[in-house]
Structure 1
Amino acid sequence: MNGLLSALIAIAGTLLGSAVTHAFQWKASAREQVFAAQQQLRADRMAVYSDFAGALTEFRRGQQDRWHRQDEDADGAAFVEARNEAYRLRGIALHALFRVQLIASAQTLIDAAQEAYALTTGLHKAGDRAELKDRADRARAVLEEFIRHASTEVQ
């Protein structure tokens, strides 16, 4: 009888130990999956936000070049080429903005991205060099604000 009782206790202990081990492994696996997903989202956001900043910086440069070429000779081939390049860069920047809108979790981040894009889009409408500089400085400042918001989301 003692042998049977000992065997039953051993079996129960083994089953209980197995169940507890399984539960702990399941929880650890779930935590690892959540951590991996968070790390992937962080990496994706880092890539999207930096791509947007780069695309908008190039777009701003293209818009300024467009303005200067128009100021030099509005009917010249250099202006037409600069305008076409600005259009191309605007498309790239708009695509990058859409990606930000899809992945960002904070509305303030999306608002800053949209404002930076809108300010950059209007650069070529400046009346003179001083206004162009003011508009470009404002667009850069809003982009820097976007970067500040984005940095809190990826840390």
Structure 2
Amino acid sequence: MAGLLSTLIAVLGTLLGVAMTYVFQRRSAASERLFTAQQQLRSERMSVYSDFAGAVTEFRRGQQDRWHRKNEDPDSPARFEARVEAYRLRGLALHALFRVQLIASGQGVVDAARHAYAVTDRVHSAADKAELGAVGAQARDALEEFVRLAASDVR
């Protein structure tokens, strides 16, 4: 009888050990999948936010170039080319904005991105060189605010 009891305890102990190992392995695997997904999302956000900042920076440069070409010679082919390039850069910046809207974790980051895009879009319509400098600085500041918020979103 003592041998049977010992055997039964050993079998139950083995079964309990197997069950506990299974539970812990499932938890560990789920935790690892969650960590991997979070790291992938972080990496995606870094890429999207960085692409947006680069696109808006280029858009601002294109808007300033458009303004300068218009004020140098309104009827020149260079003005037309600068306007076409500004439109192309606007499209790239808008595309990058849409990507930010899809991946951002909060409305604050999206609002900052929209604001940076909107201010940059107004650069070419400045009345004079002083206003061009002021609107360009506002666009740069708006983009820096976006980057500040985006940085906190990827931590």
TM-score w.r.t. the length of structure 1 is 0.99
Establish whether residue 77 from structure 1 lines up as the match of residue 77 from structure 2.
yes
Whole-angstrom CA distance in 2 between matches of 1:91 and 1:112:
18
Give 5+ residue unaligned stretches, structure 1.
Answer: none
**Are 2:153 and 1:123 equivalent residues in the alignment?**
no
Q: Given residue 91 of structure 1, which amino acid in structure 2 is its aligned partner?
A: G
Q: Aligned residue for 1:4?
A: 4
The CA deviation at 1:106 is 1.2
Task: Give how far 1:5 is off.
Answer: 1.2
Give the residue type in structure 1 aligned to 2:74.
Answer: A
Q: For 1:117, what is the secondary structure of its paired residue?
A: helix
Aligned to 1:145: 145
State the match for 2:65 in structure 1: 65
State the shift of 1:72 in Å: 0.4
Residue aligned with 1:105, SS: coil
How many angstroms does 1:2 deviate by? 1.6
Which structure 2 residues correspond to residues 32-43 of structure 1 after superposition, within 5 A? 32-43=32-43
Secondary structure of the corresponding residue to residue 111 of structure 1:
helix
Sequence identity of aligned pairs in percent? 64
TM-score normalised by L of structure 2: 0.99
Runs of 4+ in 1 over 4 A off after TM superposition: none
Shift of 1:66: 0.3
Residues in 2 aligned to 1:8 and 1:151: alpha-carbon distance in whole angstroms: 59
1:7 Cα deviation (Å)? 1.1
The CA RMSD measured in Å over matched residues stands at: 0.5
- Within the alignment, does 1:110 sit opposite 2:115 as a pair? no
**Residue 93 of structure 1 aligns to a residue in which SS?**
helix
Determine the structure 2 residue equivalent to 1:44: 44
For 1:66 and 1:154, the matched residues in 2 are separated by: 34
- In 2, the alpha carbon distance for the partners of 1:105 and 1:2 equals 63
